Amino acid sequence: MSRLQKVFEPPGSKALIAYVTVGYPDVDTTLRLAPLLAKNGCDVVELGIPFSDPLADGATIQQASHVALANGVTPDVCLDIASHLSDEMETPLVFMSYYNPVLRKGLNHFCGASVNSGVSGLIVPDLPPDEGGALEQAGAYHGLDIIYLVARNSTDARLEYVARRSRGFLYLVSLTGVTGARTVLDEGLKSFVARARMRTSLPLCVGFGISSPSQATSVASVADGVIVGSRLLQLVDSDRSLASVGEFVQRLRMAVDAAPG
């Protein structure tokens, strides 16, 4: 059982997963922010490797990536930061990266270096599982879970196919469009999660658009994990002391734990 799988043990456990862009607004903030997230209730911290063309991301994460790249943050810097964080905290780390940086490093090299830096999983939003065989092999060899995203308008057959290829958990995209905080979640989310539940025993984690404790409760009532990113980056931007981030994560944790089911 991988470190990520253990997050969802015993059955029925609900995970809170936080996304941060590495190097936004600077490297020092990332080194302070990730342990703060873990301390206040996050079960997994997702480290976003900045990329120049983040096509799945909305304005908040696009801007964060732009700033991080301007700060000189590269995949090697991200590996170094992950290593520092894994020495400091027990909470599992997951990389989110577009495929180009992974490919440029070499699939085996990237997966091996990630594991050596204490990273447990990898999410590649622009890599469809149909083209992910080589990365899956590299991940399996080094013990790195390759986590796939699946869209809510996927057919049942597609859902089943993507779930078979994913490891650690299945990432359910809550809406049609890019990342970014939303005031209202899609009404079809419950049925989407139910369709996925019928086709896999993997934990189901929902991301994109979740920005409030009430939304977190709604998602956790049907899914196994809640992923929050853009709203956290907005709070980092408005309060560099990170005090409001810690308070917000505490509220998310209580909301997730209060979810029925």
What whole-number distance in Å separates Cα of residue 171 and Cα of residue 179? 13
List the catalytic residue out of 26, 28, 46, 145: 46
Q: Cis bond leading into 75, ω under 30°? A: no
- Domain of 79, in residue numbers: 3-257
b/e map of 42-57 (b: 16 or more CB within 10 Å)? bbbbbbbbbbeebeeb
**Which pLDDT does position 179 carry in this prediction?**
47
Instruction: Please list the rounded mean pLDDT of every run of 10 residues in the chain (261 residues).
Output: 87 93 97 98 98 80 94 97 97 97 97 98 96 98 97 94 97 67 63 95 92 94 95 94 97 95 70
Q: How many helices (DSSP H) and strands (DSSP E) are in the chain?
A: 12, 9
Tokens of 221: 């009532």
At residue 188, the pLDDT reads 81
Query: Is 26 among the catalytic positions?
Result: no
CATH number, domain with residue 159: 3.20.20.70
Catalytic entry in 57, 136, 145, 224? 57
Q: Are 242 and 236 in contact (CB under 8 A)?
A: yes
What pLDDT, on the 0 to 100 scale, is given for residue 12? 83
Helix then strand then coil, in percent of the chain rounded to 5, is: 50, 15, 35
From residue 196, how far is each of 4, 95, 207 by CA, in Å?
19, 23, 14
Number of domains the chain contains: 1
Using the 8-state DSSP alphabet, how is residue 10 labeled? T
- Secondary structure letter of residue 209 according to DSSP: S
Predicted TM-score (pTM) of the model is: 0.94
d(CA 87, CA 133): 31
Active site residue 90: no
